[in-house]
Amino acid sequence: MPGWFTTGDPPALLGTRCASCGTYFFPREEALCRNPDCRGRQLDEVELSRRGRIWSYTDNRYQPPSPYVSADPFVPYGIAAVELADERMVVLGQLEPGADVTELRVGQEVELVLGPLYEDDDHEYLVWKWKVLA
């Protein structure tokens, strides 16, 4: 199964786009278009917009349950629902460490970055995050 994002410079979320109606999907759709007005079955992999605007946000103060793996000890982090610039779809993700949710505003521009989700003795596991732009 393909990954959810690329790790190149710059990174990008991987989605699919229906060749028939143009609807975007994230996470990827493999079988058929989920648009109820379309019967398309050709779904092309696309890199989604790296920038968007905050649609909503909050902070996570409680450690998520298993199977989610988080840092030990748990450190609270911000979460943002971001409307992607071109696709106009909303993607949820963590905010980059250090983002102060008390200073966030709906409509602020953010950019996709990669950061560690957690590490073990053998590997650093990456996840996409949103970096607030000035």
Q: Is the pTM of this model over 0.85?
A: yes
* pLDDT (mean) for 10-30: 96
Per-residue pLDDT tens for 25-35?
A: 999 999 999 99
Q: Is residue 18 within 8 Å of residue 35, measured between CB atoms?
A: yes
* pLDDT at 74 (0 to 100): 87
Domain boundaries, the chain: 14-47, 51-132
Other CB atoms closer than 10 Å to residue 79's CB: what's the count?
A: 17
